[in-house]
Amino acid sequence: MDGQVLPVAEALVPVFDRSFLYGDGLFESLPWDSGRLFRWRQHWDRLALGAKFLGIRIHWNETQVRAGIRAITASLTTPQATVRMHLSRGVGPRGYSPRGADVPRFIITAHPSPPMPLDGWPALTLKTCSSFKVAAGDPLSAHKSANKLLNVLARAEAEGEGFDDALLVNTNGMVTESSSGNVFWWEPGSLHTPPLTTGALPGVTRGALLDAARDLGWAVIETPAPPSRLATSEGIFLSFSTRGLVPVRALDAHQIPTDARQSPLQDAFLRRCDLEWKPV
């Protein structure tokens, strides 16, 4: 926390911190495996781009942050973990104006995680969120801001109806992503994902999957689509930085098959991952 290694109980944030008060900050979550990080450059660059967009200066350079990650992961007893970086604008005067909030806060945490099951992650069920929609054209959707209340409420709605995750749509009725991952679906002869212009986050694992598909000589078509198009597709899966590819077995009342093309894509993705794990 701001360059100090602290026990969680001592890592306290002031009540006037703007990330706590207004969600005025950014975060990144990335996988750690035995001293290596997956796609560090893409995660760091996305954080830096978001900080520039919000007008928050990152006072800690990349070398210092990587040293901090090494310090807090040194005592981990599990080979896999999730490293989370959180940037807050810091403490400022009361009110929405960011003036006077000139000392940003940077926090890194490590969260032990279980290894990926040998037969992959269990398939999920999705519920199209009806109560909350992503604003089409919102420039904030390109950044992983600390304000994720829409995602929280959408997930709560889905879980309250017995589903694992929520499928988000924008104000034009087009699918954007799930509450915590990017969305892909299979159609005859093609793989599709929503374009970023719908409000989908430019996910790091999404980018790795696009590269993996290219490794196979496949094209991924960025397609604006309503949930009904996914419901009649040949398969759906989600992508997460911390879990990779996770299949979907149901969308609303529709049972979703698992497309046979997902297996070679998963293999290509894992081969690419082997190349892109880099020492901290």
pLDDT of residue 114: 83
Residue 58 confidence (pLDDT): 94
CA angle at 138 for the pair 135 and 213, rounded to the nearest 5°? 95
The pLDDT of residue 103: 96
Q: Is the pTM of this model over 0.85?
A: yes
pLDDT at 116: 73
Provide block-wise average pLDDT over 10 residues at a time, the chain (280 residues): 93 96 97 95 96 96 96 93 97 96 97 80 95 95 95 98 98 98 96 97 96 94 98 97 93 96 93 90
From its phi and psi, is residue 217 left (phi > 0), alpha (psi between -120 and 50) or beta? left
Question: Which pLDDT score is estimated for 37?
Answer: 95
CATH of domain 124-279: 3.20.10.10
CATH of domain 8-112: 3.30.470.10
Query: How far is CA 14 from each of CA 17, 123, 152, 169, 192, rounded to the nearest angstrom?
Result: 5, 40, 23, 35, 44
Give residue limits of the domains in the chain: 8-112, 124-279
User: Residue 194, SS3?
Assistant: coil
pLDDT recorded at residue 250: 98
Q: What pLDDT does residue 246 have?
A: 95
Q: How far is CA 249 from the centre of its chain?
A: 21
Residue-level pLDDT at 242: 87
Helices of type H across 74-195:
149-160
